[in-house]
Amino acid sequence: MAGLPAGPVLDDGARGRVLTCLLICQRHSWDQGLTAAVLDGAGEAGALRVLVDDAVARQLPDGRLAELDPACSVNGGVVGEYVDRVAARLGDRELAAAAARQRDWLLHRAPRATDGTLFHLLGTREVWADTVFMVVPPLAAAGHGDAALAQLDGHRARLRRPDGLWRARWDEDGGRTADARAWGTGNGWVAAALARTVGRLTGAAGARVAEEARALLDACLAHRRADGTLGDVLDDDTSDADTAVGAMLSYAALTGAAEGWLPESYAAAGRSLLGTVVASLDGLGRVSGAAAAPRFDRPGHSPEAQAWLLLADAAARRGQRPGTSATTSAAQPQERVTPAPPCP
């Protein structure tokens, strides 16, 4: 489409600044997992080894990796995938055992509903949209495809709304929605999880997840604002914009296009979203206008926004067509793109 960059929009200098900000920020367990994904994708084997060693050093006795907040139940699953990956590359038995303890926690010992759907926090019996990213792709990557799909099914049944967007939280004991809002980041976690899972499943299962990813992207992009941003609550135009949501959806769209399970129109949409996020960078390389860590209750900065920008840029690079420029700078948001119709 005219006016859109053919490839990534982060040049090497900007990418380095974004990564530096990610690495020096304080990070929770899920941020460690996202950072591991960034380092792995960039071929930074030494830094990745340091990160996974530290995740194991901070592993709780019950198996949760890199966990500094004992209330969190599932978030260590993301970094567990990379502990397992490094263990396989190096033949490291201690790392492999640590990854196995994390998987055992998710598969058998973490608190869950009677149908097996995991609760997000210890001490409450709530199902959160965030959990889909924390557990579904890592379980699929470890060869537990049935368990991954069971978690996806349980979360979908409780949280997906008739309009295709996902609610934020479900109260299992009350049998009712705890937070019905279409939280932007929650939907972003789900979209990114689906995108990461498609290639880890075989046959019809992968195709079904791809269709679901496309439908969710379409439902989210229908609420993109005139300035290219998306809201902290997607269908509430009065909510603050959240640049992290754009980065997450950009990653999902660009991953699907690069892997061939989404049409090229989604690559254009993903690059447009990416350009909007890049335009939010401050002079230090921080993504501005994201839900601010650590409470995510106001606009600001967060490690996850940094990581998602880098992951989206990497997805754009994977999908780059031969003969196009390797790097393209963008100071302004790119042309807004209307998504293709959802799959039937």
Q: Is the pLDDT of residue 213 over 50?
A: yes
Residue 332 has pLDDT above 60, yes or no: no
Question: Is the predicted pLDDT of residue 334 greater than 90, yes or no?
Answer: no
Q: Is the pLDDT of residue 143 over 70?
A: yes
Q: For the residues 244-267, what does the mean pLDDT come to? A: 97
What is the pTM for the complete model shown?
A: 0.91
Q: Which stretches does DSSP call E strand in the chain?
A: 126-128, 169-171, 176-179, 290-291, 299-300
Task: State the DSSP H helix or E strand holding residue 299, giving kind and residue range, or none if neither.
Answer: strand 299-300
Domain boundaries, the chain: 1-27+139-337
Helix axes 243-259, 203-221, angle to 10 degrees: 140
pLDDT confidence bin for 12, thresholds 50/70/90: very high
CA atoms of 25 and 35, how far apart (whole Å)? 11
In this structure, what token pair is assigned to residue 253?
A: 């769209």
Alpha-helix runs per DSSP H in 222-263: 243-259
pLDDT band at 341 (very low <50, low <70, confident <90, very high): very low
How confident is the model over 158-174, as a mean pLDDT? 98
Could you tell me which residue, 8 or 144, shows the higher pLDDT? 144
Nearest to 78 by CA among 87, 67, 68, 89: 67
Angle, CA 218 vertex, CA 213 and CA 220 arms, to 5°: 95
Residue with tokens 């994977």: 318
For 92-161, the DSSP string reads -HHHHHHHHHHHHIIIIIS-B-TT-PBPSBTTS-EEETTHHHHHHHHHHHTT-HHHHHHHHHHHHHHHB-
pLDDT confidence bin for 319, thresholds 50/70/90: confident
Burial of 284 (0-12, 13-18, 19+ CB in 10 A): exposed
Residue-level length of the chain: 344
The mean per-residue pLDDT over the stretch 171-176 comes to 98
Q: Is there a cis peptide before residue 111, judged by omega within 30 degrees of 0?
A: no
Confidence of residue 197 (pLDDT cuts 50, 70, 90): very high
- Separation of alpha carbons 95 and 143, rounded Å: 18
Whether the pLDDT of residue 329 is over 60: the answer is no
Overall fold of domain 1-27+139-337:
Glycosyltransferase (1.50.10)
**pLDDT at residue 335 above 80?**
no
Residue 339: pLDDT over 90: no
* Lowest pLDDT segment from 209-213, 216-220, 297-301: 297-301
Distance between CA atoms of residues 230 and 239, nearest Å = 9
What integer pLDDT is reported at residue 336 of this predicted model? 34
**pLDDT of 3 strictly over 70:** no
Residues 277-303: what's their mean pLDDT?
A: 96
The predicted model gives 215-237 an average pLDDT of 98
Contact 244, 281 (CB under 8 A): no
From 71-75, 136-140, 310-314, 332-336, the region with the lowest mean pLDDT? 332-336
More confident call, 331 vs 211 = 211
Pair of tokens at residue 314? 């990497």
Across the range 126-132, mean pLDDT stands at 98
Which pLDDT score is estimated for 321?
56
**pLDDT over threshold 80, residue 41:** yes
